[in-house]
Structure 1
Amino acid sequence: MSLFAAAIVVLLTTLCPNFSSSSTPVNACSSKPEATKSPSPCPPFISSPSFPFSSSPGCGHPAFQVKCSTPHSSISINDLSFSVLSYEPNSSSLLLSPNPSDPENCSSLGFRSIPRRPINLTGSPFRVSDACCSRLSVLRSCSPPVLPNCSFCPWQCKLVKNPVHLLRGCGSVHRHDSEQEGCQKDVLEYLDELMGIGINFEWDEVKDTYFTNCTDCRSKNGVCGFNSSDPSKHFVCFRSRARFSPPWISEDNPRRIAVLCSVFGLACVLLFALIGLSVFRSGRFRSSVAGEDPTALFLHRHRSANLLPPVFTYEELEASTNRFDPKRKIGDGGFGSVYLGQLRDGRIVAVKYLHKQNHHGRAFTSKSFCNEILILSSIDHPNLVKLHGYCSDPRGLLLVYDYVPNGTLADHLHGPKSPYRKGSLTWQVRVDIALQTAMAMEYLHLSVVPPVVHRDITSSNIFIERDMRVKVGDFGLSRLLAPPDNSSTATARSGGVWTGPQGTPGYLDPDYHRSFRLTEKSDVYSFGVVLLELISGMKAVDQSRDKREMSLADLVVSKIHLGLLHQVVDPELAVDGDGGGDAVEGVDSMAELAFRCVAADKDDRPDAREVVEELRLIRSRTRGGRSGVHADLIVQHDR
């Protein structure tokens, strides 16, 4: 190591005179991306950040200095650190999320995404987007507000009373304080989630002189930067032909060059001296990171209370799936891939391997993983998929479920070469599928405390057994409707929770999408779309249909209004000899129920108990009430 350090010093001694002989301002900011490529990934930038961004001091715009890290790089605005969630090149906006801060006096409250002081944009080129301000403008605390301990958390109390204080740039947004019915009890929870999803910050390139100066600089083949040693950070246009040295050094600074060369040489010696120490401490460092990982903290807390299912090792699940053999892949979606596995005790299971990165990032994947474990380990119903265990490993997050061998309802209804459809989805079977799904929904809404909203009831998440019985799965988006303090569960059901809209297009409740208020009626809407699929055999969203009829709910509702329901009934039901006249009457009754479920106003929809009662009446009228789940319906294709 000492020989290598000596070589570095000799090299610097040789090179430094060349710096002082330069006749042009020297430049560490190159106009070529490959010359400034960061030594480590700098998400969300595909390569090295370009103007106005930079990860090198003195380069780019002083307000757009990026600290590269994974999974998110960070940027500082008035000494407040933010994670950069996304940036579209050639746009003038950023999606930022405040970096979690450890509260001092308010640790018991949590809400780590809420900054401990207002987001002040004074003196910066940024402003909060109108859309983000609008979300805060409609957020109103109920009267009297539910306040934390104000003696310890005065800032949180101030936010509960007036959430716009968090973003001072939104102070001019008009508020509709007269609409008391839209008040929110869990203001801090909503703000915490809004900060976690991200805030859109925008800037005006026309009004900012750095951008206009940079345009002129680039026209002269220069590279844009600023004087990082000057507090005023004046704009500097560097000549791109210079080779080395920080951007603020020029030909009239030979003494500073010599000093920097010496400092740089000493830094290299110290750097290589520390490499051995860092390697020695790497194991301890990884343990520290694991200790701060939210997934690990969640699992540790709940496992100590004996609330979680068994734990599998990564090696066990890897062996059970033959090293995640692609030939064993039985499903693939936005959250992860599903593999067929066989455990050591002979059980056949489905192993979901969650994607390490998706459109919401690693944090969203971890949240979905923890959410599914927490909910599935606390419920038990014959029409819900059972969770057998999980694995949390640096190499991947995995969940182990029942294996349901007969595909999904979507496979039976819409599979391009479905081996299931002919002869299996008679009218009786469709009524039974609807009833069993509704019973699972009723259990989640009315038998579990606090209630659970599935938030993604779709034909792709309804799994079919060989005897055509149903199991509802995929609880990654599910949400507990925890009742507020000192209030009943019934009150929580009626009020719901405020949270960002999530779900599958075509099934997402429009009322929830508009109001950000999630209730059990959102599941009822999704279930209504599934009923329409059972009646019509059509997909919930089909881009091949006319624009006004792309949504199945819009299409069928318009046909019902015109008295033309028969035009959208699945042709296979018309030739179903098992249903007869009772099937025709049952289709009309189910269509009427679906029509109520997809009502635009959530208050006009039935609850899960009403849905179950209505479907039981429909089944009783179908062939004298004989159940559609019987032996002659067992699928023969896999024998």
Structure 2
Amino acid sequence: MLPPHWILSINTFSFAITSHRPNSTSILVTPLPTTTIHRKPPRSPCFSSPHLPSRPINLSHSPFRFPNSLCSRLSVVRPCSRSFAENCAVCRWDCQLVHNPVRLMRGCVDGRSREDSEEQGCKEDVFDYLESFLKAGFEIEWDEEGDSYFNNCRACERDNGVCGFNFSDPQKQFLCFQSISRRPLLQNHKQKSSNLVVLLSTLFVCACVLLVIASVTLIWRCRAMNSSNKSLDQEEDPTMMFLYRHRSANLLPPVFTFEELESSTNRFDPRRKIGDGGFGSVFLGQFRDGRVVAVKKLHARTTTTTTTKSFCNEILILSSIDHPNLVKLHGYCSDPRGLLLVYDYAPNGSLADHLHGSKGSPCLLQWRQRLEIALQTALAIDYLHFSVKPPVVHRDITSSNIFIDSEMRIKLGDFGLSRLLILSQSESKLSSESSSSCSSSSGFVWTGPQGTPGYLDPEYYRSFRLTEKSDVYSFGVVMFELITGLRAVDHVRREALGDLVVSRIQMGLLRQLVDPVLLVGDDGGKVSMAVDAVAELAFRCVATDKDDRPDAKEVVAELQRIKSRINNTV
């Protein structure tokens, strides 16, 4: 630590130098209250503090600059509340500082979006945070290349002079003090030397000085860069680095701390577990502001490659889509203690809960509700296939991944296995050739089959060629579940539900499998006709050849026609 009387003055700002490491070009400084305080008039609504300046800290025209790490640290600070906005007309500087704290350091660039959609990872009191930040001190770097004193002083010392400056001069002009015994010698030397020799000597010295300065600067920058790269390699989370390589930080959802999510779930209390899947367990979470969310904690495995890939995949896809029938990702956490995702909470559970589980009750899902669930799910699939570029194939459309909110609206979730249909050149060529011979064929990507047994497209399983029609097949099985109330795969049956219903339809025996609840009170057979129409549509969706299946737009149009007919006959 340095003595408190070591003061640095830059552009009317005065700083106390609190720390300096030998052989380092950085120093730790803190503003002196006597020079940064600008008190507001009595009863002023503006913020006043002896440690927080009322204007940006400016290091221009000085040999010092703010390091990038300092600017990055301030650029991610944002307020949790917008209550200060009403004082913006009076306290313009305070308002700018609250909404963009990086303005405190003139020359720093804001690296985040102008307005975050969520308020997690924010500061309740930005002023208090900045005041503590300045009190603790911040680092500034000496820019050797821009320091004219440094170059002049070296030349002065080569002539056995002493460096100094005129303190009374406002510009603090550099002065070189030479010894008395040296002056006559220099004068004699100048008198005896020819103008040509002096000129050549001066040019040679200047060239040497510039070469030395350039060499020192280059070496210092290389060392600083190597040191910075090593530090980043050691400290950066590889998962976060992967996400930032594929998506700008301001387009990603907010980042939660592990402690925040641990607290919201009461330390992942087993009594708060509301779901369990192949990749993780889902817990009910409640934040301090009262918001209720679903927190998915991915399972820790010996080999975490698959888990991490699913984690990153879901973040990248959900942060780029927006639809009322798709779950919303509120944020995430990448921590050595676990990978966590934060979603909307669906209090009515999943469709599987209603059809096969604890919520399965005849009074809950009558035919109109089941038809509406099918239509909303089809709308979500249509959005993924036709409105998103490149298209998204969900790859795991099941009744367990269709969630129902408090108003009985559905949310399609669990995008851990989803894929973007980004075609390589060879795949594009194959796809175009296929499209020329089969008008309904779509693009595809080569990938190993993944999904839930009973819902997996058999053609995709055989050929490893993933298309949008693979989702259509899975949705066809879901429609069979809505019609029959049976599970897609059940240990008491030898056949999967898709094969079972298809065989009954081909034999004209569909009525044997229809859920009896649907036909209770069926006046005039209106429900029966609608059930038959949906069964026919599902039959087309699970066709063996993908080119015989309708696309998502056709499915939506047909379900809307069925819904319209049943409404018009009431």
TM range (shorter): 0.5 to 0.7
The match for 1:243 is none
Deviation digits for residues 8-41 of structure 1, max 9, x if unmatched? Answer: xxxxxxxxxxxxxxxxxxxxxxxxxxxxxxxxxx
Is the Cα–Cα contact under 8 Å of residues 541 and 552 in structure 1 kept in the other structure?
Answer: yes
Is the Cα–Cα contact under 8 Å of residues 427 and 576 in structure 1 kept in the other structure?
Answer: no
Which of residues 449, 452, 464 is equivalent to 1:501? 449
SS at match of 2:250: coil
The alignment's C-alpha RMSD in Å is 2.4
Offset, 1:494:
1.9
SS at match of 2:538: helix
The match for 1:221 is none
Residue 387 (structure 1) aligned with residue 387 (structure 2): no
The match for 1:450 is 390
Distance between the aligned counterparts of 2:308 and 2:248, measured in 1?
A: 19
Which of residues 369, 374, 378 is equivalent to 1:434? 374
Which of residues 542, 563, 567 is equivalent to 1:619? 563
SS at match of 1:494: coil
Offset, 1:344:
2.8
Is the Cα–Cα contact under 8 Å of residues 351 and 403 in structure 2 kept in the other structure?
Answer: yes
Distance between the aligned counterparts of 1:347 and 1:286, measured in 2?
A: 37
SS at match of 1:374: helix
Which of residues 511, 519, 524 is equivalent to 1:574? 519
Consecutive unaligned residues in structure 2, runs of 5 or more: 1-228, 436-440
Residue 317 (structure 1) aligned with residue 261 (structure 2): yes
Alignment map for 1:39-118 (pairs within 5 Å): none
Deviation digits for residues 415-466 of structure 1, max 9, x if unmatched? Answer: 1x43x52212111111100000000000000000000000000000000122
Consecutive unaligned residues in structure 1, runs of 5 or more: 1-283, 627-639
The match for 2:125 is none
The match for 1:338 is 282
Residue 594 (structure 1) aligned with residue 534 (structure 2): no
Is the Cα–Cα contact under 8 Å of residues 477 and 503 in structure 1 kept in the other structure?
Answer: yes
Distance between the aligned counterparts of 1:625 and 1:516, measured in 2?
A: 45
SS at match of 1:613: helix
Alignment map for 1:477-496 (pairs within 5 Å): 477-484=417-424, 494-496=442-444
Is the Cα–Cα contact under 8 Å of residues 619 and 625 in structure 1 kept in the other structure?
Answer: no
Is the Cα–Cα contact under 8 Å of residues 395 and 418 in structure 2 kept in the other structure?
Answer: yes
Offset, 1:347:
1.1
SS at match of 1:315: helix
SS at match of 1:401: strand
For the structure 1 residues 619 and 314, does the alpha-carbon distance in structure 2 shift closer, same or farther, using more than 3 Å as the test?
same
Alignment map for 1:518-597 (pairs within 5 Å): 518-545=466-493, 547=494, 550-577=495-522, 581-597=525-541
For the structure 1 residues 289 and 367, does the alpha-carbon distance in structure 2 shift closer, same or farther, using more than 3 Å as the test?
farther
The match for 1:355 is 299
Deviation digits for residues 478-527 of structure 1, max 9, x if unmatched? Answer: 00001445969995982310000000000000000000000000000000
Offset, 1:289:
5.5
The match for 1:191 is none
Which structure's residues are more often helix, by fraction? 2
Alignment map for 1:9-24 (pairs within 5 Å): none
Offset, 1:346:
1.9
Alignment map for 1:107-506 (pairs within 5 Å): 288=233, 291=236, 294-302=238-246, 304-357=248-301, 361-415=303-357, 417-418=358-359, 420-484=360-424, 494-506=442-454
Is the Cα–Cα contact under 8 Å of residues 426 and 576 in structure 1 kept in the other structure?
Answer: no
Distance between the aligned counterparts of 2:527 and 2:279, measured in 1?
A: 38
Larger radius of gyration: 2
Deviation digits for residues 326-367 of structure 1, max 9, x if unmatched? Answer: 111111111101011112332110000000117xx3100000
Offset, 1:583:
0.6
For the structure 1 residues 562 and 313, does the alpha-carbon distance in structure 2 shift closer, same or farther, using more than 3 Å as the test?
same
Alignment map for 1:507-518 (pairs within 5 Å): 507-518=455-466
Distance between the aligned counterparts of 2:400 and 2:490, measured in 1?
A: 15
Distance between the aligned counterparts of 1:508 and 1:290, measured in 2?
A: 41
How many residues matched? 334
Distance between the aligned counterparts of 1:303 and 1:525, measured in 2?
A: 31
Distance between the aligned counterparts of 1:414 and 1:351, measured in 2?
A: 24
Which residue identity does 2:348 align to in structure 1?
N
Runs of 4+ deviating beyond 3 Å = 284-291, 302-305, 483-493
Deviation digits for residues 509-552 of structure 1, max 9, x if unmatched? Answer: 0000000000000000000000000000000001101x2xx200
Which residue identity does 1:517 align to in structure 2?
R
SS at match of 1:556: helix
SS at match of 1:331: strand
Distance between the aligned counterparts of 2:396 and 2:417, measured in 1?
A: 7
SS at match of 1:539: coil
Is the Cα–Cα contact under 8 Å of residues 526 and 569 in structure 2 kept in the other structure?
Answer: no
SS at match of 2:295: strand
Is the Cα–Cα contact under 8 Å of residues 290 and 296 in structure 1 kept in the other structure?
Answer: no
For the structure 1 residues 315 and 285, does the alpha-carbon distance in structure 2 shift closer, same or farther, using more than 3 Å as the test?
farther
Distance between the aligned counterparts of 2:569 and 2:430, measured in 1?
A: 35
Distance between the aligned counterparts of 1:489 and 1:329, measured in 2?
A: 46
Is the Cα–Cα contact under 8 Å of residues 295 and 367 in structure 1 kept in the other structure?
Answer: no
For the structure 1 residues 488 and 404, does the alpha-carbon distance in structure 2 shift closer, same or farther, using more than 3 Å as the test?
farther
Q: TM-score, normalised by structure 1?
A: 0.50
Identity %: 69
For the structure 1 residues 338 and 489, does the alpha-carbon distance in structure 2 shift closer, same or farther, using more than 3 Å as the test?
farther
Distance between the aligned counterparts of 2:513 and 2:489, measured in 1?
A: 14
Distance between the aligned counterparts of 2:263 and 2:497, measured in 1?
A: 43
For the structure 1 residues 468 and 576, does the alpha-carbon distance in structure 2 shift closer, same or farther, using more than 3 Å as the test?
farther
Deviation digits for residues 554-594 of structure 1, max 9, x if unmatched? Answer: 100000110000000001112155x7521100011001000
Distance between the aligned counterparts of 2:246 and 2:290, measured in 1?
A: 28
Is the Cα–Cα contact under 8 Å of residues 382 and 552 in structure 2 kept in the other structure?
Answer: yes
Distance between the aligned counterparts of 1:624 and 1:286, measured in 2?
A: 68
Which residue identity does 2:453 align to in structure 1?
P
Is the Cα–Cα contact under 8 Å of residues 427 and 573 in structure 1 kept in the other structure?
Answer: yes
Deviates more, 1:493-502 or 1:531-540: 493-502
Which residue identity does 1:528 align to in structure 2?
G
Is the Cα–Cα contact under 8 Å of residues 455 and 474 in structure 2 kept in the other structure?
Answer: yes
Which residue identity does 2:334 align to in structure 1?
S
Is the Cα–Cα contact under 8 Å of residues 423 and 443 in structure 2 kept in the other structure?
Answer: no
- Which structure has more relative contact order (CA 8 Å, sep 6+)? It is 1
SS at match of 2:442: helix
The match for 1:256 is none
Is the Cα–Cα contact under 8 Å of residues 446 and 466 in structure 2 kept in the other structure?
Answer: yes
Is the Cα–Cα contact under 8 Å of residues 483 and 489 in structure 1 kept in the other structure?
Answer: no
Distance between the aligned counterparts of 2:379 and 2:292, measured in 1?
A: 26
Distance between the aligned counterparts of 1:490 and 1:499, measured in 2?
A: 15
Distance between the aligned counterparts of 1:508 and 1:384, measured in 2?
A: 21
SS at match of 2:362: coil
